[in-house]
């Protein structure tokens, strides 16, 4: 797995090879959903469908199967690479962030996967604008929190 | 139909593996990418680049297909209108993404890494989604 640890000049913490490999897997998964099932692999939409919050033609059983696959795949990679467990934000921040993500992805009709991966690769006007929008506020949020000295991860 | 469930499970599993391998399930990695004006970590640009490249090819293949391999018909979004709801909702999503360094896919994938943390995030996310539904269509 040493090649996965290849770094980028000037960015000692970056993992470009692991990132690219992960991205290709995400692309293949989305391609399987598109060419196999004829659907967009948009996680927020699939989650809403699975929990009967959103309408859609996707069967709820298939939506749940997709969601169950996500931790399954992450578990396989964690076991294979033996990567140390990452840190997560405090329960309060996780809850606040979760509510905002839930509201935002429903109003915005998608998230990083639906707009960012599936929509941008199709040059969908809505997805390009949505992705620009959440990238800008994502950058701004971290910048503001850092400026205020708010530490999220220990 | 069983086929739809198998395809979805396979897609979700590969998706989750990609998220973990690419670092999307590590909030420090995600927030490092969003820290554009600080100690920027470009890793997620490679994740996004790899995923978009593969999907761009998939869209080219899709255009030549009459129907999907394991389903009756394609069911794809076809809207192109830019609304305040789309832009404002996405802006809101970005704020939540920046706060905890988690978006929906990695939130589910993180159930295999830190189940209590992921469960809190997901429960709150589903509550937020439910709130939008209630406001849109009062019960």
pLDDT at B59 exceeding the cut of 90? yes
Domain that holds residue B83: 2-135
Q: How far is B33 from chain A (nearest CA, A)?
A: 8
Residue A70: strand, helix, or coil:
helix
Note the pLDDT of residue A5. Answer: 78
Query: How many folded domains does chain B comprise?
Result: 1
Asked if B43's CB is within 8 angstroms of A21's CB, the reply is no
Residue of A nearest to B67 (CA): A38
Rounded to the nearest angstrom, the minimum Cα separation between B1 and chain A is 8
pLDDT at A9 over 70: yes
Q: What is the 3-state secondary structure (H, E, C) of chain B?
A: CHHHHHHHHHHHHHHHHHHHHHCCCCHHHHHHHHCCCCCCCCHHHHHHHHHHHHHHHHHHHHHCCCCCCCCCCCCCCCCCCCCHHHHHHHHHHHHHHHHHCCCHHHHHHHHHCCHHHHHHHHHHHHHHHHHHHHHHCCC
Global ipTM: 0.97
Question: What's the pTM?
Answer: 0.97
Residues from chain A that touch B45, judged by Cβ atoms under 8 A, are: 19
Quote the pLDDT of residue A137.
Answer: 98
Residue A8: band (very low, low, confident or very high) from pLDDT cuts 50, 70, 90: confident
Task: With cut-offs at 50, 70 and 90, classify the pLDDT of residue B137.
Answer: confident
Average pLDDT over residues B121-126: 98
């Amino acid at each position: 797995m040493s090649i996965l640890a290849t770094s980028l000049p000037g960015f000692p913490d970056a993992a470009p090879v692991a990132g690219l490999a992960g991205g290709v897997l995400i692309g293949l998964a989305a391609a399987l959903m598109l060419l196999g099932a004829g659907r967009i692999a948009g996680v927020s939409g699939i989650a809403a469908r699975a929990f009967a919050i959103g309408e859609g033609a996707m069967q709820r059983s298939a939506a749940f199967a997709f969601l169950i696959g996500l931790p399954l795949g992450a578990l396989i990679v964690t076991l294979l690479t033996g990567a140390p467990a990452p840190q997560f934000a405090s329960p309060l921040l996780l809850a606040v962030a979760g509510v905002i993500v839930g509201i935002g992805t429903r109003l915005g009709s998608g998230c990083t996967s639906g707009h960012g991966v599936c929509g941008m690769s199709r040059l969908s006007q809505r997805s390009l604008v949505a992705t620009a929008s959440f990238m800008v506020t994502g950058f701004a949020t971290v910048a503001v929190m850092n400026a205020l000295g708010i530490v999220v991860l220990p | 139909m069983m086929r739809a469930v198998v395809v979805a499970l396979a897609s979700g599993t590969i998706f989750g593996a990609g998220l973990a391998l690419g670092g999307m399930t590590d909030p420090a990695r995600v927030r490092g990418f969003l820290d554009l004006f600080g100690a920027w970590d470009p890793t997620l640009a490679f994740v996004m680049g790899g995923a978009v490249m593969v999907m761009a090819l998939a869209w080219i293949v899709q255009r030549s297909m009459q129907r999907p391999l394991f389903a009756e018909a394609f069911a794809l979004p076809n809207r192109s209108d830019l609304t305040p709801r789309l832009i404002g909702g996405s802006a809101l999503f970005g704020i939540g993404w920046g706060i905890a360094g988690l978006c929906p896919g990695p939130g589910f994938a993180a159930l295999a890494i830190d189940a209590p943390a992921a469960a809190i995030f997901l429960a709150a996310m589903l509550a937020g989604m439910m709130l939008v539904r209630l406001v849109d269509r009062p019960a």
